[in-house]
Copies of this chain bind each other. A is one copy, B any other.
Amino acid sequence: MTARTLAALVVAGVTLLVGGCASQPTMQGDLVIAKQGSFFVGGREVRSDKMSMVPTVTAAGTIVVDQMYVRYQVPPSAKRFPIVMVHGCCLTGKTWETTPDGRMGWDEFFLRKGYGTYVVDQAWRGRSAWNPAAINQVKAGAAAPDTLPTLFAAGQEPAWAIFRFGPEHGKTFPGMKFPLDAQAEFWKQMVPDWFNALPMPNPTVPSLGELARKLNGAVLMSHSQSGIYPFQAAALDTTGIAAIVSIEPSACPAVTSDLTPYTKMPILVLYGDYMELSPRWAPRLKLCREFVAAANARGGKAQLVVLPEIGIPGNSHMLMQDTNSLEIAEWLSKWLDGALRTGG
């Protein structure tokens, strides 16, 4: 073999390495994954004589509820702390996957940035089991109708304003960036919600803490209804919670609560646009601002960012699916890199 032949082979090999399957993070091209899979965290057994209302399956039995489904992907040479992603009201882990208009979700974006990503379904939602026994008891005439669980699904009409697509159903805020052309695919993501039928804190909360400890440290990234969950997990035990990223939380911890747990890790509270135009969201923003100020007054490393204030306008409540979702993810990735390096 001549030196020239060898040189050609080296070039070919390097080309394949770089173009075909880079081991460094890349935002396009083939994705390289060191490990992936799924598992559950938490769960408790419940027994009923009305688990089944069909004759082919015995009525009495024991099932497990409260467990939290987790799907994960970890890249080669992953960064020190993975990101746990928790969806909001009436949604599932699908929130963080492919956007309604078919673009890359944040689960894959942060994976490509070198983070292990752990996408969960809240307890009693999606692939995390719920208990049908209370419903079956009423159908069997063994309990009164008012013992039925308090369930809700968010219809498209009220959800429109809640998600800040516009001031009311069918009207959009000017420059709003949710991909409404693909709204039919988005509405399919929505599922019924047991939140109001469950104890406080939600069973998902201790499972998030357990997962963070199991991972020997993780960023807890939440959204909307689950925005408060990482804080509630920290109030139980801060161990393993490397940072909190609360996207568009519907609530922050009360300023009158013990703020000590929230001084132990970097915290980002992130909101999109049109906050002051929304009677639902404006007061929430105000309370979260007060929380961040109070936590910082106690020595915390908390930050509240409203995207238009840093030059990114037009974002809805579903900013991880908006047309500029990866621009925000890129900004968030830099924030995380900085926060995790410096401790906030």
Residues of chain A at the chain B interface (Cβ within 8 Å): 1-3, 6-7, 9-10, 13-14, 16-17, 20-23, 30-40, 43, 45, 47, 51-54, 57-58, 60-64, 67, 69, 71, 76, 92-94, 97-98, 102, 104-105, 108, 121, 126-133, 135-136, 138-139, 141, 145-146, 148-159, 162, 184-185, 187-192, 196
Whether the Cβ atoms of B13 and A108 lie closer than 8 Å is no
Q: List 29 A-B contacts (CB under 8 A).
A: A1-B3, A10-B10, A13-B16, A16-B17, A16-B23, A17-B21, A20-B76, A21-B32, A30-B34, A38-B98, A39-B98, A39-B185, A40-B188, A51-B153, A52-B152, A53-B150, A53-B151, A53-B152, A57-B154, A61-B158, A61-B159, A63-B155, A64-B190, A126-B126, A126-B127, A127-B189, A131-B153, A136-B151, A136-B152
Q: 8 nearest interchain CB pairs?
A: A61-B155, A13-B13, A21-B21, A37-B98, A52-B152, A58-B158, A6-B6, A139-B148
Given A10-B13, A32-B21, A40-B185, A54-B141 contact (CB < 8 Å): no
Tell me, rounded to whole Å, the shortest Cβ–Cβ distance linking A62 to chain B: 5
Residues in B with CB closer than 8 Å to A43 are: 184, 188
Residue of B nearest to A33 (CB): B31
Given A21-B23, A30-B34, A63-B187, A132-B153 contact (CB < 8 Å): yes
Whether the Cβ atoms of A23 and B23 lie closer than 8 Å is no
Measured between alpha carbons, how far is A158 from B48 in the docked complex, in Å?
Answer: 13
Residue of B nearest to A104 (CB): B37
Given A31-B36, A37-B105, A148-B139, A94-B63 contact (CB < 8 Å): no
Residues in B with CB closer than 8 Å to A33 are: 30-33
Residue of B nearest to A187 (CB): B64
**Known contacts A30-B76, A121-B127, A139-B145, then 15 further A-B pairs from the complex at CB < 8 Å, ordered by chain A residue:** A1-B7, A2-B3, A9-B10, A21-B30, A21-B32, A32-B33, A37-B104, A37-B108, A47-B155, A69-B94, A126-B126, A130-B192, A135-B135, A136-B151, A139-B150
Kindly identify which residue among B22, B36, B63, B94 contacts A127, using a CB–CB cutoff of 8 Å: B94
Residue of B nearest to A66 (CB): B188
Residues in B with CB closer than 8 Å to A191 are: 127-130
Given A33-B33, A191-B130, A192-B129, A39-B157 contact (CB < 8 Å): no
Measured between alpha carbons, how far is A114 from B16 in the docked complex, in Å?
Answer: 19
Tell me, rounded to whole Å, the shortest Cβ–Cβ distance linking A251 to chain B: 12
Measured between alpha carbons, how far is A141 from B17 in the docked complex, in Å?
Answer: 66
Residues in B with CB closer than 8 Å to A57 are: 152, 154, 158, 162
Given A138-B148, A145-B138, A185-B40, A153-B3 contact (CB < 8 Å): no
Whether the Cβ atoms of A32 and B34 lie closer than 8 Å is no
Residue of B nearest to A130 (CB): B192
Whether the Cβ atoms of B135 and A151 lie closer than 8 Å is yes
Residues in B with CB closer than 8 Å to A185 are: 39-40
Residues in B with CB closer than 8 Å to A141 are: 145
Measured between alpha carbons, how far is A76 from B8 in the docked complex, in Å?
Answer: 24
Residues in B with CB closer than 8 Å to A128 are: 191
Tell me, rounded to whole Å, the shortest Cβ–Cβ distance linking A247 to chain B: 19
